[in-house]
A and B are shown apart, each in its own frame.
Chain A
Amino acid sequence: MGNTSSMLTQYDIEEVEEHCNNTFSQQEIVSLYQRFCQLDRNSGGFISADEFLSVPEFAVNPLSQRLFRMVDGLNFKEFVAFLSAFSSRATLQHKVEFIFKVYDFDGNGKVAFSDLLDVLRDLTGQFISEQQRELVLTHVLEEAGYKKDSLLVLSDFMKILGNTGLKMEVEVPVD
């Protein structure tokens, strides 16, 4: 334990910095590396689903299952790229893209009614009936000018979320 940045060379840090489009500073990347090593218990070079689940605050999150798929088996460079959407330096476009990816489960660039329903189910669990969920979704979709069988693409998401003042930031602890 107690991994220091001596495992990560300056060259590595710069490569990661470039890969995430400078959304994290070098100091933050070093901190993230320490965190990555802490989570990667068996030092396999990537964090498995099991290791993510061992963080209780993550495991109790309603969207953890969806995020798993995006985060399973990431190496450090990809881990930083994944988290870059949560940096204060990330653009709004980047953040909306991230949200879109969470919805677009099969990665085909289109979000259908069923995808919206799935996420709403994750967020509300047993506390709203399935029928009610469909009603609520249909209602707000129609109000926004879409139909139940509309397929939403990234530009739709940008339009809907673009001017909401999205707050999606996480602070990387730097000792």
Chain B
Amino acid sequence: MYGQQSKKEVRFLLPQEGEKKMSKLSTSSSELDLDRPNIEDYLPTDSIHQPHTKLRLRDLLDISPTLTEAAGAIVDDSFTRCFKSNPPEPWNWNIYLFPLWCLGVVVRYGILFPGRVLILTIGWIIFLSCYIPVHVLLKGHDKLRKRLERALVELICSFFVASWTGVVKYHGPRPCARPKQVFVANHTSMIDFIVLEQMTAFAVIMQKHPGWVGLLQSTILESVGCIWFNRSESKDREIVARKLREHVEGTDNNPLLIFPEGTCVNNNYTVMFKKGAFELGATVCPIAIKQSFTTHLLQLMTSWAVVCDVWYLEPQNMKPGETAIEFAERVRSIISVRAGLKMVPWDGYLKYSRPSPKHRERKQQSFAESVLRRLEEK
């Protein structure tokens, strides 16, 4: 399935004034790239068709296929589409709907919104008044403290979900805490995390944020056992990989939830999964999440309800002979199919950095080989 580029050598004979000149095509250095799946599997298959006729000046001058690809990318590309939020559908205004809509606005902003803020506030008060004493007083009794803290975190998340009048349908067996097991899910926004957390107090791996979010992270989320990372640090990867392994192998830890996309992606696509979660030697339990409403918090709080489907899918193990990246793509495909999302070949981190030169080199190599081959044709 993932093609292997074998080392190629092409002999190039160019008879010139009676002399025979022999040159070799530089050996291709792109072996099976263990860091990325074969992008050619995903990109449009109408690749540049190279005919097999003798090479002429016009063939070198005619750069239209490459230009067309570039222009195509400028006009529309699959990567930007992943992060585009869908504009809300316009309503058809008429004499019946308009007053109803006005009434709706009154109810949503005047009744629902304050009601929700109230529920959330109550929830926070209950949570904090239980959490702080538990955290401080039960310092010595770790097992009990952890159990209570777990329950409290699940509680506050439920409050959150209730405040959006969240209708969440869970399908499949509830996650249970077992060692050598890790959960992965597609990621659209913080809502995914809260929706999952209200059912099971997962430990997560998160980007450390500054400010009051960071405070929340280091106090409350610390209690369920979170792992921090920093996207911009390269050395960070090894440290995080070690922490993940330790957590998964530990018997007393909360089940670990990882969002392998590494970033928020709109709820129509999945970007490539990072292989970190898939090379821990643990069973991977995929979770698919599909929301049918907007993810913007304010719009959420003033809308009618959040309807969300969560599917807990069959646990997967790495097949013999499968690489971590193949395993990651296989799980991504399971999740994407279940939630009805389109898979794109891009790395979510491209949002923050540039694509690797390997993709361009593949194109160059294919063109170079064709040129040399056609030169030999009579």
Contacts and interface: CB of A to CB of B under 8 A. Distances in A.
A1 B25 contact: no
A129 B24 CA distance: 9
Given A61-B363, A166-B64, 14 more contacts: A32-B75, A39-B74, A54-B351, A56-B346, A58-B74, A59-B354, A61-B70, A83-B74, A99-B64, A127-B364, A128-B26, A128-B368, A137-B60, A144-B58
A171 B74 CA distance: 11
Interface residues of B, number: 55
A116 B60 contact: yes
A88 to B, nearest CB: 12
B56 A125 contact: no
Scoring A71, A131, A132, A166 by chain B CB atoms within 10 A of each residue's CB, the highest score goes to A132
A69 B26 CA distance: 30
Nearest to A86: B71
B85 A127 contact: no
A131 B361 CA distance: 19
Contacts of A137: 60
Interface in A1-53: 1-2, 4, 32, 35, 38-39, 52-53
A140 B55 contact: yes
A135 B80 contact: no
A151 interface: no
Interface in B205-222: none
Nearest to B56: A140
Interface residues of A, number: 63
Interface in B344-378: 346, 350-351, 354-355, 359-361, 363-365, 367-369, 371-372, 375
B76 interface: yes
Nearest to A145: B57
Given A102-B63, A160-B61, A123 B364 contact: yes
Scoring A102, A160, A173 by chain B CB atoms within 10 A of each residue's CB, the highest score goes to A160
A84 B71 CA distance: 10
A53 to B, nearest CB: 6
A99 B63 contact: yes
Given A135-B14, A136-B55, A137-B60, A35 B365 contact: no
Which secondary structure characterizes the binding site on chain B? Answer: helix
B62 interface: yes
A112 to B, nearest CB: 14
A143 B63 contact: no
Contacts of B229: none
Contact of B354 (A53, A102, A127, A146): A53
Nearest to B357: A60
Interface in A109-158: 116, 119-120, 123-129, 131-132, 135-137, 139-141, 143-144, 146, 157
B78 interface: yes
Interface string B1-36: 000000000001010000001010110100000000
B26 A127 contact: yes
A38 B62 contact: no
A94 to B, nearest CB: 12
Contacts of B76: 35, 172-173
Contacts of A146: 57
9 contacts: A2-B87, A57-B72, A57-B73, A61-B70, A102-B67, A123-B367, A136-B60, A136-B371, A160-B61
A54 B82 CA distance: 13
